[in-house]
Each structure stands twice: as C-alpha cells, then as structure tokens.
Amino acid sequence: MAEVTADSAAEPELKRVMGPGLLLLFVVGDILGTGIYALTGKVANEVGGAVWVPFLVAFLVALITGFSYLELVTKYPQAAGAALYTHKAFGIHFVTFMVAFAVMSSGITSASTAARAFAANFAEAFDLGIGDGIGITLVALSFILVIAAINLRGVSEGVKLNVVLTCIELTGLLIVIAVGLWALGYGNGDFGRVTEFETGDRSALGGVIAATTLAFYAMVGFEDSVNMAEECKQPSRIFPKVLLGGLLLTGLIYVLVSITAVALVEPSELGAGDTPLLKVVEIGAPGFPTGIFAFITMFAVANSALINMLMASRLLYGMARQHVLPRTFGAVHPRRHTPHISIAFTTVLGLALILFVGQVPELGGTTALLLLAVFTIVNVAVLVLRRDPVEHKHFRTPTFLPVVGALTCGFLVTPFTDRNPEQYLIAGILLGVGALLWAVNQLALRKQEKPAAP
C-alpha cells in the first residue's frame, strides 16, 4: 500500500480556510440531521417514554471517542481520518483497507437512511398519500439518483452552503423545542412520560442498550471533521474546543428534542412511520404550518445524503489513487472532472440498500454498527500510538478514556446488545464486497509487478 501519510513536494497543499467558527458549523451540521429527524420514534419503540436516555448514553459514548479523535487529529493533523490512524498504529494493509471501506459503507447506509426519511417527508409535505410502501421506495430511489446527478456534475461543497443547510437543520430542531416549551407553559402534554420505561420482555437496562444502538446513529458525523484537518487554520490548537463544543451542543439539543417529542406524542404513536418530529409539531402546535416543517426536514436529510454520498465516492476514489482499490475507481470524467466510476458504484450500492432493505431502523443501525467497529479500532490506536512521539504539542486524552471507549464501542458491536441480526447481514455483505475488491486489487498489483517476458 502506498503510504497514506507520504508527503510529496510536487503536490500542492490544501488551502487552510477554516477557522474555529466555520469548523464548529461543519461539526454541528454534520452531526445534526437524519438521525434525530428519522429515528426518534424507533428509539421510543425500544425504550418507551424515557427516549432521552439512549440519546444521552449515545452522546457519552461519542464524547469519549471524540477525546480519542482529538489526540490523534492534533498529533497527526492530516486528512484520511480513521484509515490514517489505523495504518500508523498497525501497518496492516488489509486492516487499513477494511477500516476505510467501512467508513465509506457507513456513508452509503447513512445516505440511504436519509433518502427514506426524505421520501417520507416529501410525501407529507405534498400530501401525496403514498403511505409506507412502493411509493416511498420510488421517491427514495429517485432522490438518490438526483444526488448522483448533482455529484456527477461536480457540485461545490462550499462552506457557505454548509452554513445555510446547518441553519435550516438547527431551525427545525429549535422549532420542536419551542413547541415543547409552549406546551409546558400551557400545561399541555404529559412530561411524566419521560421517566417511564416500556421495554417489553427486556429489562430497563436491556431496552436502553438496544435503543442506544439506534440512537448512536444520531451522534455520528463528528468523526468526519478530522478529514478537514489540512484545511483548518492551526488544527492542533482549535480542534479540542471546537469538537467538544459541537458534541456538547448537539447532545443538549437531542436530549431536549427527545423529551419534547415523547411528552407530546405517545411513544407507540411516535414510533409509527418515518416522520416522528412532524407529528410532534402537528400535535403540539396545531396552528403551525406543518408543511413548512416538512420542508425543513427535507432540507436537513437532503444535506445528510449529499454529504455522505460525496464523502463515500471521494473516499473510494482516494483509495484507488492510493492503489488499495482497482485503478478503475480512480478514473475522472474528462469534462466534469468528477470520479464518475466511484460515483456510479456508490450510487448502485445506495439504490440496492433502499430497494432490498428499505427500513430506516436497519439502515441507521447498520451505519452505527460499522462506525462503532471503526471507533473501537481508533480507541485502541490511540494507546498503540503513544509510543510514536511527535515534535509539536498536541492534545492528550486521559488514558482511561480510550480504554473505556474501546470496551464500550466494542460491546455495542456485539450481539449482546440485542441488535437486529439483519444489521449484521447488511454490514457483512458490504464488508464482503470490500474484501472482494481488496483481493481483486491485490491480484492486479501482483500482475503489474511481474517482470515482462523477454
């Protein structure tokens, strides 16, 4: 494998344009979105009225892992994220490749989740009455194709666009919180429900653990910010306060939103369908034009899908350029200057997930499953890389945190969490595709290295 950290004097450096303010908006914008908009009701199905508890636990797990990322990104302020840290810590080609492919796959499953949520809110906004069947699936498939077309055209992921979309996402969640405060002020809703656990045959702890495997999807996104390290001003200095600030802000918003949701809507009703927060606004503020909120939700999840599909296709392209994938995936369209083969491949995977899986909880749960496995490796990598000193000052997390992070994330990957087996099947198929691509590329590289016949 080509060294992912190799410097080349001949290659231009990325432009450092992001200060702490823009980086904070990037972190917050990447975390906010599909998870809380689409999965609040599904989490309520697992745990009942205490729906805020799994979100709080997920936040704490993400925060612990965030400390590990902070040590690594300030120690190695370069792009490539988890794949870079894995390569530096272990130096095993296959492991590095599978970590990178898992991150890419998590982006595709996240985008597929967003597509389902977009379709549901699209149907609600335009009062299409297409239900949860084939109509929603067709809208979701069409949405992914539109994202692919934008991706192929070469849309610029400018900082200004991220600011606008982040503000839209945040506005929707603040509306939900405001509706909750309004209801509380007028004695509406039942805030006593927030302490009630309805976990079926499970214990309260078992229900919280099962629900956390879903709620964790709402907290992912912070790890993407480390890929912006080479485009940040003084990354070793600004990352700690920005990343921690972004996690704390989004964690607080999620807890307030989930409390509001379950106080205004019965958990069983909240868990029916793919538009739980829209129900909250309809019940809590009947006079509020819910069509506007549906449009806000559409923008929020559309942003999630676009970011994740862009990330997935570029990561695949980058892996090909580093000779860890067949060179075909590194091809660039001669006119559009976009990685069209990688875009086509990731789009096909996204379409397949929507068509053959089609359930938001399993797609969101699979995203969390893949990233929890990656986070386990990252937490271990922090400890391994303590023996690799660097000359500049960097953030150092207390040793017990990556240990707790590795154990916690590793546990949440296991079947002991009562995770739906379908999520393991989806993740296994995706990683199987990755292993096949790795094997094909290894054969291709060996063929290229053979000396030509005289």
Cα–Cα distance for residue pair 54/44, rounded to 1 Å = 9
- DSSP code, position 295: H
Secondary structure (3-state) at 303: helix
pLDDT at 354: 84
- The superfamily in CATH containing domain 29-442 is Amino acid/polyamine transporter I (1.20.1740.10)
Tens of pLDDT, residue by residue over 235-250, are 778 888 889 999 999 9
Measured CA to CA, the distance from residue 121 to residue 136 in angstroms comes to: 10
Per-residue confidence (pLDDT) for residue 11, from 0 to 100: 39
Q: Please, which residues bridge with residue 18 across strands? A: 232
Task: Identify the band that residue 47 occupies on the pLDDT scale cut at 50, 70 and 90.
Answer: very high
Residue 433 CB partners (closer than 8 Å, separation 6+): 349
290-294 mean pLDDT: 77
What does the pLDDT read at residue 17? 61
- pLDDT of 302 > 50? The answer is yes
Q: What band does 229 get if pLDDT is binned at 50, 70 and 90? A: low
Q: Rg (Cα) of the chain, in Å, rounded?
A: 22
How far is Cα 23 from Cα 41, in angstroms, rounded to an integer? 30
Domain spans in the chain, listed from the N-terminal domain onward: 29-442
Instruction: Say which residue, 416 or 307, is predicted with more confidence.
Output: 416
Q: What is the rounded average pLDDT of the residues 84-103?
A: 89
* Residue 182: pLDDT over 70: yes
Highest-confidence segment of 76-90, 92-106, 173-187, 275-289: 92-106
